[in-house]
């Protein structure tokens, strides 16, 4: 049977015309979840991988264009060494173990963040997933790994300055599109919806340029508790939002 994302969306009470094209997620609260279970913090990270799986699969079913997951920030290096080692090992395991599934689901795999600081074996697994899925046409699954938005903007400014110095770019021609095209997210649509789990009302250096007009949705639930039902709640709320982009309401205003 051929899968029809619009029919599936309607079957779960979602209007396919009102789905976000790009969903970005700050997957937070793994450590706090583990504590509620009397477990070590790292067990929360391991359980969080299951939520990644469930949410990715559901975005595929619904025909969402892109899912961008904050996996590891450039500030997360401040964590204790054993936790860092666990996170990197988990990441490598995920990249390897999910490969067959990603291919089966027609997912295009992408990564944003700095390569510097990541180990050669993690980079090799990332590159292999990108290479193998290059021609895929389904969901773009973008992982933010060693990602920080300010660092991304610094890298973009350096790239633009280099093009100016080489005479390839006239400073007068630098516009918003030129900046967008110099970010790690070049060619990707901006997120329409930003989900954050675990209740924190902050963006933690995530996609600062790209979320200018994203709708924000925060749940107190921890990432390991997040799944299909909460994703649907976020998408239902998103469908009810009126996005004005600085203009007036479509119904007119008075």
Of the listed pieces 69-77, 183-191, 207-215, 242-250, which binds ligand IPE according to CB under 6 A? 69-77
Verify binding: residue 198, ligand IPE, rule CB under 6 A. yes
Verify binding: residue 202, ligand IPE, rule CB under 6 A. yes
Distance CA 36, CA 26 (A): 20
**Torsion region of 44: left, alpha or beta (phi above 0 gives left; psi -120 to 50 gives alpha):** alpha
Place of tokens 């173990």: 97
Q: With respect to Mg ion, which residue has the nearer C-beta, 28 or 152?
A: 28
Verify binding: residue 113, ligand IPE, rule CB under 6 A. no
Verify binding: residue 151, ligand IPE, rule CB under 6 A. no
Please choose which of Mg ion, ligand IPE, none residue 184 contacts, taking the beta carbon within 5 to 8 angstroms, the exact cut-off set by kind: none
Q: With respect to ligand IPE, which residue has the nearer C-beta, 53 or 136?
A: 53
**CB burial of residue 11 (10 Å; 0-12, 13-18, 19+):** exposed
Verify binding: residue 29, ligand IPE, rule CB under 6 A. yes
Q: With respect to Mg ion, which residue has the nearer C-beta, 120 or 201?
A: 201
Q: Is 76 a residue of the active site? A: yes
Q: Please enumerate in sequence order all residues whose Cβ is within 8 A of that of 160, keeping only pairs 6 or more positions apart, or say none.
A: 169, 174, 178, 179, 182
Q: Is 54 a residue of the active site? A: no
Please choose which of Mg ion, ligand IPE, none residue 55 contacts, taking the beta carbon within 5 to 8 angstroms, the exact cut-off set by kind: none
Work out how close the CB of 40 gets to ligand IPE at its nearest, in angstroms, rounded to a whole number.
11
Set 53, 54, 76, 155: catalytic member: 76
Verify binding: residue 219, ligand IPE, rule CB under 6 A. no
Torsion of CA 182, 188, 191, 196, to 10 degrees: -80
Distance CA 247, CA 252 (A): 10
Q: Distance of CA 254 to CAs 43, 240, 244, 249, 250, Å?
A: 54, 21, 15, 10, 12
- φ, ψ dihedrals at 229, nearest 5°: -65, -45
Catalytic residues: 28, 76
- Contacting positions for ligand IPE (CB under 6 A): 26-32, 70-73, 76, 87, 198, 200, 202, 204
Bind-site residues for Mg(2+): 28, 215
């Amino acid at each position: 049977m051929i899968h029809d994302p619009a029919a599936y969306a309607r079957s779960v009470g979602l209007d396919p015309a009102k789905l976000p094209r790009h969903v970005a997620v700050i997957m937070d609260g793994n450590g706090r979840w583990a504590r509620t279970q009397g477990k070590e913090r790292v067990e929360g990270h391991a359980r969080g991988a299951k939520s990644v799986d469930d949410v990715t699969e559901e975005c595929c079913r619904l025909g969402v264009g892109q899912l961008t997951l904050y996996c590891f920030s450039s500030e997360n290096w401040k964590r204790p060494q054993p936790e860092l080692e666990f996170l990197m090992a988990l990441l490598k395991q995920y990249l390897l173990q999910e490969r067959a599934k990603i291919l089966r689901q027609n997912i295009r795999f992408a990564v944003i963040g700095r390569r510097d600081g990541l180990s050669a074996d993690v980079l090799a697994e990332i590159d292999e997933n990108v290479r193998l899925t290059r021609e895929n046409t389904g969901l773009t699954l973008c992982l933010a790994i060693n990602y920080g938005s300010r660092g991304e903007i610094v890298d973009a400014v350096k790239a633009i300055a280099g093009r100016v110095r080489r005479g390839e770019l006239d400073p007068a021609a630098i516009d918003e599109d030129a900046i967008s095209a110099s970010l790690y997210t070049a060619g990707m649509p901006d997120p329409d919806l930003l989900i954050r789990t675990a209740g924190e009302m902050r963006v933690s250096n995530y996609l600062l340029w790209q979320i200018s007009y994203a709708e924000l949705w925060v749940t107190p639930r921890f990432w390991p508790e997040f799944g299909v039902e909460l994703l649907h709640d976020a998408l239902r709320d998103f469908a009810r939002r009126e996005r004005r982009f600085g203009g007036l309401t479509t119904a007119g205003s008075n």
